[in-house]
Structure formats: structure tokens, C-alpha cells
Amino acid sequence: MHLIIADHTLRNYQGHSFEYCKSIREIALSLGWKVSVLGIVDISAEAKESLQAEPFFKHGFFHHFPLPGVCRFFPETTQNHLWGRWNFMQHNASLEKDLCKLIPICNNGEKTLILFPTFGFNDLLGITKFAERLDCQSSVQVALVKHFTSRPNLSKDMLPHSLYKKCFDYLKKSHAKNRMHFFADSNDLIDEYLYYFEEPMKIVPIPHTSEPDISPVTEDKPLVIGYMGDARTNKGFHYLPEALEVARRTTKTDFHCEIQANIRNHPEWQVRQAVRLLQKMPDTKLFHEALNSTEYKALMKRIDIFVLPYTLEHYHSQTSGVFSEARALGKVTVVSRGTWMAREVQEQGGGVLAIPEDSKSLGDSIAASIGNYSQLRIRALECARNWGKYHNCKSFIHELIAGIPGMSN
């Protein structure tokens, strides 16, 4: 078996692409499989060496293609209308061109699975057209895992929804559809994508988790409140300064904050302002760069209460790698009501809910999690055992292979 992990988000340690690829690669190698990892052409030396990755994709998942020069004469509203469609065409064409470099490998008769750990509407058409170019006798199968909602802000922007529909409508008529297999890491996403494709996606676990952290609580040590991941408005990062001020006023218990404040690509003014405010706050440590695996896991272990103030714009159905990791470690979480994470906390406990996009409610919830920490942690550790039984790399590979006819033979 040859597993090709094709990840056009894989550039460095930022985000979850590195840990996702690393966990899958390690379990596949332990099964005796041949594994190739494909990243972006400017992948960092550290990530390239650790994963034995090949610089492959010319443009990454988050690349923005500028409009042709002539468009500068158009009104701004027209440019905004064209820009998403232009990126859709350019991304799919670029990805198809890159993937066609794999055709000689794919047509050599070897049993091969190409895994896309992430995909969106800017990718699906390119992947489908690449699959159409494969020899009809080729045994290659293509697996695509969905983490993102198709409806990030349906009341304001119909474009993602319409482009997903365009991609899946094309796939329905394609002769390559039988070699393409779709997966998602939440039932909410599976239900959402039934609108576009009659065959439901199959569920897979989130693979990059660790064993529960059962280290005892030190009574004389302040609790650590933490935020991990990219600093973005759709993750509610900009609500942190006011929320932490509210929590400090509300609780009499001292606490320390450790916050990832690294900005991936396009800094939003709300995020920049929040970083400046957090820098002035007492007992608050910020991390402005992406952390490597050792640093990341050490920070996760230090944090007692994870704050995930994600907005409903994306996270009404979208999953969170940080939440899954925190859950597996048995950490207490503060999450926004109405999100995928909130449904897990409501059903199983081990956390506190906050009103989404409300700094006061978030601060009150942080204070409540501090006040009830001992009881919440006991429940969070109980939840961790069940969470980790399913969400791990062994389960991921098992469910992935089981979801592709003939692959387990």
C-alpha cells in the first residue's frame, strides 16, 4: 500500500496540518505502508525533515490570487464580486496542474491511496479533473476529509455555497466519482453536505490526540487560562482582553494566562488591537510565533482551562483540532453556545458554555470555570477516556480504510 498525504496547507508548524500529517504518517508506517507526504513548495526545513515531505504544491490552500490588472478600473463592488470567482478558477487550475505530476506514479499498478486531509471549493474541481486523467485500470483511490462548513455566513455571502454546489454537480456527472471518497469529522458536517451530494460522507475521528493529563493539581499554583491556535476574529480572539478583565473582576482566585497570538496571513484590525491590549495585561504571556510539536504539547499540558470563544459564523458545524486535543487531555473548556464543541460539552460535561460573541458572558464563564474547576476537571478526565478511545490515529486509519470499498483487502 502506498499512502500519499497531499496537504496543500502544510508549510510549517502553524495550524494543525503538521500534527495531522505526522500522526497519520506514523501509524501508516507502523503498518508497513509506503508513505509520501506532499506539502507546499516553500515548506519549512524543519517540517520537511520531520515528515520527509516533498515540496510539491505551487500555491497553498490560503493563497490569494490577485485579479488581473485590468480589473483595477472596475468599481470596488465589481472587483469584490469577481475576486472569489477568480480565485476559485485559479486555485482549481493550479491544483490540477500540480496533481498531474503524480500520474506516472498512479498508473504504475501499485495499490495507492491519495489522502487530502483538507479540501474546499477552491480544490474539489481540480482534484476531480485530476482523477479523470487517471488510467481507467488504475487502482488509485482518493480520500478527501472535510473540516470546514460550506456555509460560513450564508445570510451575507452565498458564494461558498454556490461554488460547492457547482463542484458537486460536476462530480455527479464525472466518470471519476467512484474513486473519490468523502469523509468528515463531525456528524453536523455530514448532514450539511447532504445538500450537495446524495451519498453521505463517512465519519472519521480526529487523529492528533494525546493521552489524558492526569498530573495532580497543585493547590498553591495559580490556574493557567489558555487560548491556542491562530489569532482570528472567527475564533473570537478579539473578545479575550475584555473577557479576561471581566473574569479578574468577578473571581477572587488568581490566574495566569498563556495565549497563542500568532497571525497566519492577513491581520485583522480587531486582532491587532486585541494583541496590543493583551500585551499590557498582568500575568499574561503571549506566543507570537507558531510552536513546534514539543513546545505546543508542553503549552497544552500547562493550560488548565482552554478558552475557545469561536463564532457561529463557521463553527456552527465546523470542528476544532484544539478542542479535540484539549478534550483528549482531560482539560476543562469554555466554549461558545451553538457550536460543535458546545454540543459535546452539553452532552458529556467537563466545561462551561458562553454566549457567542459576548465578552461579558465569556468572562463570566471563565470565572465560573475557575470557581468550579475541581469538579469540572474530574468530569473532563472521565470524558477524556472515551474521547481518546475513538479520536486517535489508529481509529482514523481503520475508519478511513473501512470507508473505501476494496481498500482493506
Nearest to 206 by CA among 4, 25, 347, 23: 23
State residue 394 phi and psi, 5-degree precision: -65, -45
Question: Is the residue at 176 inside a domain?
Answer: yes
Q: What is the C-alpha radius of gyration for the chain, rounded to an integer number of angstroms?
A: 22
**In this structure, are 88 and 200 located in the same domain?**
yes
Residue 351: which CATH number?
3.40.50.2000
> What's residue 313's pLDDT?
86
**In this structure, are 242 and 136 located in the same domain?**
no
**In this structure, are 299 and 317 located in the same domain?**
yes
**In this structure, are 59 and 164 located in the same domain?**
yes
Question: Is the residue at 288 inside a domain?
Answer: yes
Find out whether 230 and 14 touch, Cβ atoms under 8 Å.
yes
**In this structure, are 294 and 167 located in the same domain?**
no
Question: Is the residue at 179 inside a domain?
Answer: yes
Question: Is the residue at 217 inside a domain?
Answer: no
**In this structure, are 150 and 267 located in the same domain?**
no
**In this structure, are 109 and 198 located in the same domain?**
yes
**In this structure, are 338 and 378 located in the same domain?**
yes
Question: Is the residue at 218 inside a domain?
Answer: no
> What's residue 214's pLDDT?
64
CA distances in angstroms from 355 to 133, 242, 321, listed in the order given: 49, 14, 21
Question: Is the residue at 129 inside a domain?
Answer: yes
Q: Which residues pair with 184 in a beta bridge?
A: 146, 203
* Residue type at position 75: P
User: Digits of tens for pLDDT over the chain (409 positions)?
Assistant: 999 999 999 998 877 789 999 999 999 999 999 999 999 999 999 999 999 999 999 999 989 999 999 998 899 889 888 999 999 999 999 999 999 999 998 877 788 999 999 999 999 999 999 999 999 888 899 999 998 888 777 566 788 889 999 999 999 999 999 999 999 999 999 999 999 988 899 999 998 877 776 666 666 789 999 999 888 999 999 999 999 999 999 998 899 999 998 876 667 889 999 999 999 999 999 998 888 888 988 999 999 999 999 999 889 888 898 999 999 999 999 999 999 999 999 999 999 999 999 999 999 999 999 999 999 999 999 999 889 899 999 999 999 999 998 777 6
**In this structure, are 318 and 344 located in the same domain?**
yes
Question: Is the residue at 258 inside a domain?
Answer: yes
**In this structure, are 257 and 172 located in the same domain?**
no
Label the pairing between strands 2-6 and 223-227.
Answer: unpaired
> What's residue 216's pLDDT?
65
* Domain coverage including residue 384: 223-390
**In this structure, are 196 and 296 located in the same domain?**
no
Assign 142 to helix, strand or coil.
Answer: strand
Is the dihedral angle over the CA atoms 233, 298, 322, 12 positive or is it negative? Answer: positive
- Cα–Cα dist 286/263, whole Å: 12
Domains: count for the chain:
2
User: What's this model's pTM, rounded to 2 decimal places?
Assistant: 0.91
Question: Is the residue at 132 inside a domain?
Answer: yes
**In this structure, are 272 and 373 located in the same domain?**
yes
* Residue type at position 167: C
